[in-house]
Structure 1
Amino acid sequence: MGEKIRPDEISQRIMADINAGILRRGEWLKQIDLERRYGCTRIKVRDALTYLHSKRLVEHIPNRGYRVHEPDAVREGQIGEVRALLEAHAAADVISQATDADIARLRELAEAFRQAAFNGTSFAQIEANYAFHGVLYGFCRNEVLRELILDARQRGPAAPVGQWQTVAQLQRATQDHFDIVDAIEKRDLDLLRQRITTHIRGDRRDEEKTDDA
């Protein structure tokens, strides 16, 4: 009872096919088709889909089944705006509450994400990202605000099928974590809020491409 569901070979293979575009965004995941594709039992397929849904890698539509997440750019942008407001507000508590030992721990978690980003599976990346942000917003003294932050983070798709589709995007997310820790260590609230917002937006002004034509 209460044991965490962990990814197995089938969930790993489904995720790999989603990232490769073999299973397309919005495509319905019929259990009988997955059984045949991966040569496994119905129970294995159900367990895999349950795990993938728990990590927001597939959607579950009541009375219809599972499908690959199909992004809604407008809604995801709106969720990002709400997250930026909430998380930037929580930054003050992070600055005031985090001790030197806490900052060292956050740096360790940023390094763990870096290792997962370049050497681990999509699932390892998700878990390392959760760990970093879980500790980061654990410093928020307002329980309702903390709950709202975590809820808003759950409303978007997990990053491997959203933001982290290229090496450059993974490098950017990795550097963002270290930049956030550096801002906390400097006890610079304005800088921390700026870096949190940049991390949520997933962009860099200095990376904008110019048209030479």
Structure 2
Amino acid sequence: MSTARRKTRRALADEIAEAIRLGAFRPGEWLRQIDLEEKFRATRFDVRTALNELVVRKAIEHVPNRGHRVAEIDVETLKALREVRVLIETAAVPAIVARIDAATLARLDDLARAFGAAVETGTRAEQSRINSDFHHLMYRLSGNPVLEELIWNLRDRARGSTLTFWPSHEALRRSDRDHHAMVAALAARDAEELARLVAAHILKDDP
């Protein structure tokens, strides 16, 4: 198509994963390649390779002779994913605390405040996007791109649960409180408290 542009496999896979994260595609929903080409203004080849990348990440699954669909996971698998996330994400905490600086701390505080405002007046897409920005920035401080990629692959895979993330307004407010508490722990350079908060955040209704 004339408006299509070349994108790297990872960049396009990240865009599709973000769309899944924001609820544009539901667990079990079939992904039509032509629709993805139009939505993301990408070539057929790039969409195909991005889908293959997402299959490897287990964010989607390939069904022979049918196509690709958003992965669906059961409650036990979701529980296992969260347990692994606790191990991986808390392991990143010491490096995060060691690398925090005033500018990044201020940006995290701004994002925490923006999320709080979105909880009260924003859309679910805005809430998810700000939440993602907050955690991306925090885990980027780990200084380990492989660890960061693993964290987001696990988070994206958990999107295949049929359970509703943030099932209530109170769940959103809990996440809001957690974000502010994480910023405070980072400001105090308290790795033990940050690790505790990260673990609790994952084991609650956090997306």
Structure-1-length-normalised TM-score: 0.66
1:143 maps to what in 2?
145
Between 81-90 and 151-160, report the one with greater CA deviation. Answer: 151-160
2:188 maps to what in 1?
186
Q: Confirm whether residue 124 of structure 1 aligns to residue 141 of structure 2.
A: no
Task: Kindly report structure 1 stretches of 4+ aligned residues shifted beyond 3 Å.
Answer: 2-7, 28-31, 58-71, 158-161
Q: What amino acid does structure 2 have at the position aligned with 1:145?
A: L
Between 167-176 and 155-164, report the one with greater CA deviation. Answer: 155-164
| Pairing 1:144-163 to 2, within 5 Å after superposition | 144-157=146-159, 162-163=164-165
1:106 maps to what in 2?
108
Q: What amino acid does structure 1 have at the position aligned with 2:145?
A: E
Instruction: Note the residue ranges of structure 2 that are not aligned, 5 or more in a row.
Output: 41-50
Distance in 1 between the 2:99 and 2:31 partners?
Answer: 48
1:92 maps to what in 2?
94
Between 78-87 and 149-158, report the one with greater CA deviation. Answer: 149-158
Q: Give yes or no for contact 2:93–2:191 (8 Å, CA) kept in 1.
A: yes
Distance in 1 between the 2:159 and 2:100 partners?
Answer: 29
Structure 2 CA distance for partners of 1:136 and 1:145, relative to 1, 3 Å? same
Size of the alignment, in residue pairs? Answer: 176
Instruction: Note the residue ranges of structure 1 that are not aligned, 5 or more in a row.
Output: 19-24, 32-41, 204-213
Q: Spell out, residue by residue over 1:93-146, the C-alpha distance to the aligned partner (whole angstroms, 9 max, x if none).
A: 111101122111101111122222222222212211110011000111223222
Q: Which has the larger radius of gyration?
A: 1
Distance in 1 between the 2:162 and 2:108 partners?
Answer: 21
Q: Cα RMSD (Å) of the superposition? A: 3.7
2:84 maps to what in 1?
82
1:38 maps to what in 2?
none
Distance in 2 between the 1:160 and 1:115 partners?
Answer: 27
Q: Spell out, residue by residue over 1:62-90, the C-alpha distance to the aligned partner (whole angstroms, 9 max, x if none).
A: 34367787551111111111111111111
Distance in 1 between the 2:31 and 2:106 partners?
Answer: 46
Distance in 2 between the 1:159 and 1:192 partners?
Answer: 26
**Percent identity over paired residues:** 30
Match of 1:176 among 175, 178, 184: 178
- SS of 1:155's equivalent in the other structure is helix
Q: Give yes or no for contact 1:112–1:128 (8 Å, CA) kept in 2.
A: yes
Tell me the CA shift for residue 154 of structure 1. 1.5
Q: What amino acid does structure 2 have at the position aligned with 1:103?
A: L
Distance in 2 between the 1:82 and 1:125 partners?
Answer: 24
Structure 2 CA distance for partners of 1:159 and 1:60, relative to 1, 3 Å? closer
Q: Give yes or no for contact 1:126–1:158 (8 Å, CA) kept in 2.
A: no
Distance in 2 between the 1:30 and 1:106 partners?
Answer: 34
Distance in 2 between the 1:145 and 1:171 partners?
Answer: 28
Match of 2:167 among 148, 165, 173: 165
Structure 2 CA distance for partners of 1:114 and 1:191, relative to 1, 3 Å? same
Greater RCO structure (CA 8 Å; 6+ sep): 2
